Structure 1
Amino acid sequence: MLKPVFADAATAIKKEFPTPNQVVLGELDCDANGEISSRYHISKYPTLKLFRNGRVAKREYRGQRSRDAFQNFIKQQLQDPITALEQLDDVKTKLDEKKRNMIAFFNRKDSADYMTYQRVASSLRDDCAFYAGIGETFRPEMTGGNNILFRPPRTKDQDMLYLGALTNFDLLHTWSYDKCVPLIREITFENGEELTEEGLPFVILFHKPEDSATVATFNQIVSRELIHEKGSVNFLTADGTKFTHPLHHLGKQPKDLPLLAIDSFRHMYLFPDISKLGIPGVLKQFIADLHSGKLHREFHHGPDPTAAPSKPTQGKVESSEEQKKEEASIPPESTFVKLKPSENRYTLLKDEL
């Protein structure tokens, strides 16, 4: 149903943006290209993902599925992501202190430095606010030449200076991504919907407010072993004395904290033994089991077979006791999915095929 609409949009967009490779609409047969499908964790058909400068955006396209909606979306994506600063005082008055801000100063707008900064801003426009001051007005900020600063939220005197080559896109992108998208974030009632909208499964450590030791262990193991998962899952911490509803769905109470769980937006999977959180490879395997579908399979059908042959299921007549065990194995439903856009936009879930 979507394919002819998408093709129509591609034709219209090509006419509006004729510059070669400025905008490319593509399609992928996930059955024929399973490796690529797995790399980007495609679990629903059809899925629409945006790539900027060769990198996948965290948020899938969730707008209307019409030619006009696709055209308008592309127009928005091609708007300049950089806000121009007119005078030095703008650094104090124009910036939203609640956001993560990138601030750059350049001699000329047509410089290679600025063009690299613009590409990075395009890639990370959903995560940081980007500003630039150009020319003599900003000479006091350019005693050492063009420069780029990062200003964390709710700070004024903690700017971080980028020290790498300004024309090196990969280096600047990596540095900016690290600043704009922290590896581990705290989920609150205020930012819960925003985090859910990114569409990535949650790996959440529920802890007591005073339990800094478990939080530190979680930070260390994620930073040491799971940086490559950034962009595939969201690593979060949560005050378990406030987020009691998810705990209730897991059959737990605040007295059971700390706990770690994955919310896939379909089910919640409890990390079996929090005392093993700091053991190398254990959390990494838990997340790998999510991506492979093992967590889903085992909760529904019991442990995957190893050396022993699997029991036949086709045509099997289960007793009422066996049925109860099967029902008991089903993991609790997601509690954060209620904040997520409706699944009605998808035709099929991949594991339903």
Structure 2
Amino acid sequence: MRITSKVTLALAALLPALTNVVASDVLDLAQDTFKGEVYDQDLALVEFFAPWCGHCKNLAPHYEEAATELVKKGIKLAKVDCTEHAELCQEYGVSGYPTLKVFRNGTPTDYTGPRKADGIISYMIKQSLPAVSDVTSESHAEFIKSDKVVLVAYGDASHPIPSAYSQYANTARDSYLFGQFTESSLPSIPESPSLPAIVLYKSFDEGYSIFPAGEITNLDSSALADFVKTNSVPLLDEISPENFGTYAEQGLPIAYLFVDPAEVDTREKLVEEIKPIAREHKGKVNFVYIDAVKFIDHGKSLNLPGDNWPAFVIQDLAAQTKYPLAPSEKVSGKSVKAFLDKFVAGEIQPSIKSAPIPETQDQPVYKLVADDWENLFGATEKDVFAEFFAPWCGHCQRLAPIWDTLAEKYASNSNIVIAQMDATENDIPPPLPSRCKVSPPSNSLVEFVEQHRKSSGGEAAAGGDADEEIFDDEDAPEHDEL
């Protein structure tokens, strides 16, 4: 009786794991099964992973969920354990985990989509369709709701769809769904525009945007791209690691409202106050709100104090500049509007964070800070070789003694400065000097200095090894941010 109970308990413990194995729609592939499962498929997605990898563990439930949805559409999702099948992973150039690759009849390309279930599903559905799908009366209602952003061009024999539409679709198919409707009997179209017409359907805000009729006859693909850029993100939405890439690709400044997630009423009130401002600056600035507690480090990187919420800041990714609203100003619709108007007019200077200027520079390595930038780089007769580091970075920690040795080699030459800046304590004032060169990490540091220096003076002193290869360690600590 006791034995039976133990067996029953053991089976009960194993049952969830057995159920998961049976229920999984992700194929486990090995060297002898890979080609048979993947090479004859029009489309498949393969994850190369390691069981110990934290990112792989985070991806796993999303990958499973996506597989269950995509198998219904005939799209296979598979995985390869690189600790068990190292040769197979090496064959496909896997150098980190997880690595995802899209296979078309055995030919791989890198997967560049999101890593959440809905993002994976959306990306792979786009991959399965032609750049522009033919939409019919029967499929129209379903097609325009099949993704967060869907574009449909409408035309007929007398009003053909401009060729620029297909040209743009070929370049943006990974990001959006494109369709064309050419039947004589049109479906219900918002605002009933004249043909040809292009409508962007979206699952947020007002639900659709119509391309200006006056610009469609001589449609330019760049104008269409600008239209999509302006209308393909919500007017004011929450930003997170999952959708940050979408905003970054837009190329527009991002206006952040940092709010404490516990202060729901405050957030909702401010969002409603700021929405009209976001609408006024649509196409010039993207507006978002963000969890100030969870992403406090991101706030600090944007030069917010990190202890006073709500807060407001604009980040211009293209120019690598940031513009925080002064902590002394209360965040409100009125203060945000005044700040935005000045920002768009170019009347606000970027905030540049700097550590204090050292009182002395008595070490071989010059300690550079933002407030001392012009003093160092303004001396055009000098050659400056600068390292920008983070104290938590494992590679930086291993480079430190080598960088010291390099500085000692040139200590007697006043025209060559070996410097370093703590990039967590200082911003790099834009723009970088036009004469700057970037050193590939694997190059000899001394050789790089000698190759690119413009100043006169003796060569590096002998002694010490400043050329040690230090970038081959895969175990360096990670540091994630938004």
* TM-score, structure 1 normalization: 0.47
Larger relative helix fraction: 1
Tell me the TM-score normalized by structure 2.
Answer: 0.37
Larger Rg: 2
